[in-house]
Amino acid sequence: MKKWLLRHMKCLTFSKKQHISQTILLLKGANKLRFFELGEENNPAIVLIHGYGVSWKMWQPHIEILKKDYRLIVPALPGHDLGEKSTFLSVEDTARQINDYIQANLQGKVRGMIGCSLGGTIAVEIMAQGQIQSEIVIIDAGPVEAISKPLRHVFAWIRTLQNRLIRKGNKTVLNALTNSYFTMEAVEDLLKTAEHMSVETCRNVQFSVFGYTVPDTIAKSGARFVYWYGSKEAILLKKSVRTFAKYVPGATIQVFEGYNHGELVVSNPDLFVKNATMVINSNPS
């Protein structure tokens, strides 16, 4: 794996100095959930929740732009934190943990929340729990309609196999990643996260996120919701989009033509931030 990285990775652009404020929230047993705060404390707060298989550094390019105007709260999801040994348990459990942090450190209120894929599902559950307030919630392709149990087992098997192949340095998988829409920085982060992630976390994520259906309490959250997805993933998210529109009738649904799952946030952070800030700064119609 290390030799492969040396041959394929270009010079990375992650900032050398971020002035990051780090808080560790102690949870049950030895499990820990870390939160990284960036930007000025007095600025409007935005929570950024990353997706499956990557670390909180997925947001690095977006942080560079957003930290000038916003206070950013970035949780490192359990099982995905390269600096801690932890296990992802469920969407609901992680949502409660983030809820607790926002209540304790931001008086239970934020300007916005942005979640991608798994992070989007967690953001939906956070709002459905009804403990905090967020003016705007942007969901980028977060599954919110449960699939059948047999299919959950299939997804869990595929993801577990994928992680095993990455850890073994399988050239076919690695070459596929480098030839995809993932940037070199994103590939490196994905590889490091895969090496760190346990089989238990991998399976728990698949069973939890694909077994999740948004509860009807979401309609009482008072937030303005925007749901994004790419045209190339429309078939896979058809039921989720329909369910979300049913439970949140006022939600804005936006399709990004030519984009696949996670492609907008990974391959075009400038466009992602541009659209996100337009939503966050806009007045409700």
**Residues 6 or more apart in contact with residue 21 via CB below 8 angstroms:** 36, 37, 38
Averaged pLDDT, 56-61: 96
| Residues 265, 50: Cα–Cα separation, whole Å | 10
Provide the number of structural domains found in the chain. Answer: 1
Mean pLDDT of 198-218: 97
Q: What is the pLDDT of residue 284?
A: 65
**24 part of a folded domain:** yes
Half-sphere exposure of residue 195, counting CA atoms within 13 Å on the CB side?
15
Q: Does 206 reside within a domain? A: no
Q: What is the pLDDT of residue 30?
A: 46
Mean pLDDT of the 41-63 span: 96
Nearest Cα residue to 156 out of 197, 208, 207: 207
State residue 22's pLDDT score. 57
Mean pLDDT of 213-234: 96
pTM above 0.75, yes or no: yes
What distance in Å separates the CA atoms of residue 152 and residue 158, rounded to the nearest whole number? 10
* Percent of residues, the chain, with pLDDT higher than 70: 88
| 63 within some domain | yes
User: Residue 201: inside a domain, yes or no?
Assistant: no
Q: Residue 24: which pLDDT band, with cuts at 50, 70 and 90? A: low
pLDDT at 23: 59
Domain span at residue 135? 20-148+214-281
CATH of the domain at 91: 3.40.50.1820
Residue 211: which pLDDT band, with cuts at 50, 70 and 90?
Answer: very high
- Confidence class for position 282, pLDDT limits 50, 70, 90: confident
CB 214 within 8 A of CB 124: yes
pLDDT at 32: 75
Mean pLDDT of the chain: 89
Kindly state whether residue 190 falls inside one of the protein's structural domains.
Answer: no
Instruction: Give the three-state DSSP class for 27.
Output: coil
Does 220 fall in a domain? yes
Residue 41 lies in a domain: yes
Name the strand (E) or helix (H) holding 136. Answer: strand 133-140
84: in domain:
yes
Structure confidence at residue 26 (pLDDT):
47
